[in-house]
Amino acid sequence: MDASAVGLEKARRLAAERGVRIETRCSDLAHLGTGGPPVAELTMDLATPENELAGLVFEVAREREREVSEGRYHHGRGHVVQILGRKPAED
């Protein structure tokens, strides 16, 4: 996601050159709502993406709280799920 259509086009071109499929969306995050779902049952937990992304090797997979400072109305502690995964090497 990016506010720049030019940047997204470059990302699509580089992905295609490398045989990688990506999905892009042009949007300005300054005008999106923030703060997460309105009820706790809809928040992300680590088990959900681990199950949905089964088959990846996770270099990083953690839930944590961190300080958030993302615009005028979104400050304070935030619960986040951080994942860095990779496709396993083929033998």
* SS3 of residue 45 by DSSP: coil
> What pTM value is reported for the model?
0.51
**Poorest-pLDDT segment among 2-11, 30-39, 67-76, 79-88:** 30-39
Judged against a pLDDT cut of 90, whether residue 61 lies above it is answered with yes
**Which long-range CB contacts under 8 A does 51-55 form with residues at least 24 apart?**
53/83, 53/85, 55/87, 55/88
pLDDT tens profile 77-91: 888 899 999 999 887
pLDDT tens profile 28-43: 766 676 566 677 777 8
